[in-house]
Amino acid sequence: MEFKEKLAAFVARIDSAIDKITPAKNARPARIHEAMRYSLSAGGKRIRPALVLASSELFESGVDALPAAVAVECLHTYTLIHDDLPAMDDSKLRRGVDTCHIRFDEATAILAGDALQTLAFELLATRYARDPKLAVELISTLSNTAGSQKLIGGQMEDILGESRSLSESELEFIHLNKTSALIEASLRMGAAIGGANGNQRQLISEYGRCIGLGFQIMDDILDATSDSQTMGKTVGADTAANKTTYVSVHGLQESRNRLAALTERACEICDSLAASFLKQLAGYLNDRTH
Amino acid sequence: MEFKEKLAAFVARIDSAIDKITPAKNARPARIHEAMRYSLSAGGKRIRPALVLASSELFESGVDALPAAVAVECLHTYTLIHDDLPAMDDSKLRRGVDTCHIRFDEATAILAGDALQTLAFELLATRYARDPKLAVELISTLSNTAGSQKLIGGQMEDILGESRSLSESELEFIHLNKTSALIEASLRMGAAIGGANGNQRQLISEYGRCIGLGFQIMDDILDATSDSQTMGKTVGADTAANKTTYVSVHGLQESRNRLAALTERACEICDSLAASFLKQLAGYLNDRTH
């Protein structure tokens, strides 16, 4: 199967599982479930849950990775809902549609985000209860990644750093924790479900850091070089806001070199794991224009 | 040991464990950890974590219930931080001190609440990893209780109902889910840690519903009858806001009768479980003046 067909097949399975295993729209109280489902289906590219599935399929346990993929998407969606709030990034649009607090209201958006985080852990605990050791490993990985020293810590430093220029190490802390950590965790969770051995897990983690950091560098390159029409959002926003980016710290050429090196290493790892989908994905993320 | 000494001993153990097993104040990024610790130590009565400890000690597994007690307090504290936000109840003071968003700012309070929820699940997954079946049961219980159909659902309906009068069944939904559910879950988690059998767990759950609902009825009675000085907060607030309460629906005498019946049933259960601390606690919650 071609890469794009394979990705579309993953996305279809994820969308269907989200519909099936999250509370119904009319479950009481309806408003919170409408809001949760609204944000879950508001145009996400499903990269993280696809990584859970793709990683699990490299190995042979036969355990279903879909509930974990949905849990990761719930966790990711909760962080987006809260990041968009007026007290945080104050975003009215995301992926071209109203953000949760615009479509509903702020209180509902706060609670819907809270509930999506809870749901992520509930899905892992209940859907993997037959293999409690695996369930505990998945919950440990996701909670450690989502916590105050990684994902939330990255968002905190990003907000604190908005009004001033950042050092190289501050920028790296934010990139590694705000974006890369959950990408790496998605891959590690898939590998755990698939039954990967220690060496395979290490390689999968390294691949995750390569594409996670690469993804962030590509974002900064696109913001500095693309035009608004291609991106579907305001570009040059980082420069205009005097925001420290990979490009502002390292320059455009060095950023491109670093991205190429990260992609090369990611592809090497994929060769050693016979992971053709993940290899194509690394190229895909690298080649994107928005 | 007398009841108050026993309660004080529980609280001391809980306070010390909170200090030891939550991230240090200066862990990076410091601001989020300061905010988490600020709210965790802002004068909570520690009733829920004490219930975890007291319930576990009725049985004999010897497994340490302190990490679960701390997890429950983290979960409870996160809900208070978010409930106090301007978009929700807009409270500037809680227990006589500044709420988290007043002491820090709104973005920090949102993130600190988020991180305390994550930490609750991380503590359960990592501190009970040696007994993964127990860990999964604790996480299932807490996540189910904290989710969109119970705790968060109760808060959602409470907010939606603020501007109109509620039916008896709507009021009961809010009471059962917003307050009683986490009290019951605390007791069930303690019982699971202690190794209680099925019948004992059912009794403990019923005790939890009795004192949880009783606690809420007592709150409504106090609001209708006490004076501001004794309560340490504005009273008569519910009446002034035309808020539906147990007293406004059932009248004062019927509320007192219902509270007495719930307390009596709670005490009966304690007799059958030889649970003297929990029996005294039911009386203590019933007799409180604020």
Residue whose token pair is 């219980």: B141
- Chain A / chain B CB contacts < 8 angstroms: 159
| pLDDT score, position A214 | 94
Distance from CA of A74 to the nearest CA of B (A): 13
Judged by CB atoms closer than 8 Å, whether chains meet at A160 and B29 is answered as yes
Q: Which of B112, B125, B144 sits opposite A122 (nearest CB)?
A: B144
- Chain B contacts in chain A segment 251-290 (CB below 8 A): none
| pLDDT score, position B104 | 98
Contacts of B162 in chain A (CB under 8 A): none
- Chain A contacts in chain B segment 33-92 (CB below 8 A): 33, 36, 78, 82, 85, 87-88
Judged by CB atoms closer than 8 Å, whether chains meet at B122 and A140 is answered as yes
Q: What is the mean pLDDT of residues B68-91?
A: 97
Judged by CB atoms closer than 8 Å, whether chains meet at B149 and A110 is answered as no
Pair B85, B109: CB distance under 8 Å: yes
Judged by CB atoms closer than 8 Å, whether chains meet at A115 and B152 is answered as yes
| pLDDT score, position A197 | 96
| pLDDT score, position A228 | 54
Q: Does B153 touch chain A (CB under 8 A)?
A: yes
Contacts of B78 in chain A (CB under 8 A): 114
Nearest CA in chain A to B29: A153
Residues 6+ apart with CB under 8 A from A241: A162
Judged by CB atoms closer than 8 Å, whether chains meet at A156 and B29 is answered as yes
Using alpha carbons, select from B83, B147, B81 the residue that is nearest to residue B116.
Answer: B81
Average pLDDT in chain A: 92
Q: Could you give the CA distance from residue A221 to residue A205 in angstroms, rounded to a whole number?
A: 24
Q: Which residues of B70-184 form beta strands (DSSP E)?
A: 93-94, 97-98
Count up the domains in chain A and report the number: 1
Peptide bond before residue B49 is cis, with ω within 30 degrees of 0: no
Report the DSSP beta bridge partners of residue B255.
none
Pair B220, B172: CB distance under 8 Å: no
ipTM over 0.90: yes
Which domain covers residue A111, as residue numbers? Answer: 3-287
Using alpha carbons, select from A213, A233, A211, A212 the residue that is nearest to residue A222.
Answer: A233
Nearest CA in chain B to A149: B28
Q: Which of B36, B107, B136 sits opposite A129 (nearest CB)?
A: B136
Residue B78: give its domain's CATH number. Answer: 1.10.600.10
Q: Which of B106, B114, B143 sits opposite A122 (nearest CB)?
A: B143
Q: What is the mean pLDDT of residues B23-34?
A: 95
Judged by CB atoms closer than 8 Å, whether chains meet at A148 and B88 is answered as no
Q: Is A76 exposed, middle or buried (0-12, 13-18, 19+ CB in 10 A)?
A: buried
Q: From residue B220, how far is each of B132, B260, B282 by CA, in Å?
A: 41, 14, 17
Report the DSSP beta bridge partners of residue A93.
A98
Q: Which of A108, A140, A157 sits opposite B125 (nearest CB)?
A: A140
Contacts of A111 in chain B (CB under 8 A): 82, 148, 152, 155-156
Q: Does A121 touch chain B (CB under 8 A)?
A: yes
Which of A76, A102, A136 would best serve as a mutation to test chain B binding (most B beta carbons within 10 A)? A136
Predicted model pTM = 0.95
Judged by CB atoms closer than 8 Å, whether chains meet at A144 and B129 is answered as no
Judged by CB atoms closer than 8 Å, whether chains meet at A111 and B82 is answered as yes
B231 vs A174, higher pLDDT: A174
pLDDT for B127-179, tens place per residue?
A: 999 999 999 999 999 999 999 999 999 999 999 988 788 898 889 899 999 88
- Chain A contacts in chain B segment 97-116 (CB below 8 A): 105-108, 110-115
pLDDT for A87-105, tens place per residue?
A: 999 999 998 999 999 999 9
Q: Which of A110, A124, A157 sits opposite B82 (nearest CB)?
A: A110
Q: Does residue B29 come out as left (phi exceeding 0), alpha (psi in the -120 to 50 range) or beta?
A: beta
Average pLDDT in chain B: 92
Using alpha carbons, select from B272, B277, B289, B269 the residue that is nearest to residue B209.
Answer: B269
B166 φ, ψ (degrees, to nearest 5): -100, 150
| pLDDT score, position B231 | 53
Contacts of B105 in chain A (CB under 8 A): 87
In chain A (290 residues long), the average pLDDT of successive 10-residue segments reads: 91 97 94 97 91 96 96 98 96 94 98 98 98 98 97 94 86 91 98 97 97 92 74 57 85 94 96 96 82
Q: Could you give the CA distance from residue A43 to residue A66 in angstroms, rounded to a whole number?
A: 19
Terminal Cα-to-Cα distance of chain B (whole angstroms): 24
Q: Is B241 exposed, middle or buried (0-12, 13-18, 19+ CB in 10 A)?
A: exposed
- Chain A contacts in chain B segment 157-216 (CB below 8 A): 157, 159-160, 173
Contacts of B174 in chain A (CB under 8 A): none
Q: Does A144 touch chain B (CB under 8 A)?
A: yes
Contacts of A155 in chain B (CB under 8 A): 111
pLDDT for B108-139, tens place per residue?
A: 999 999 999 999 999 999 999 999 999 999 99
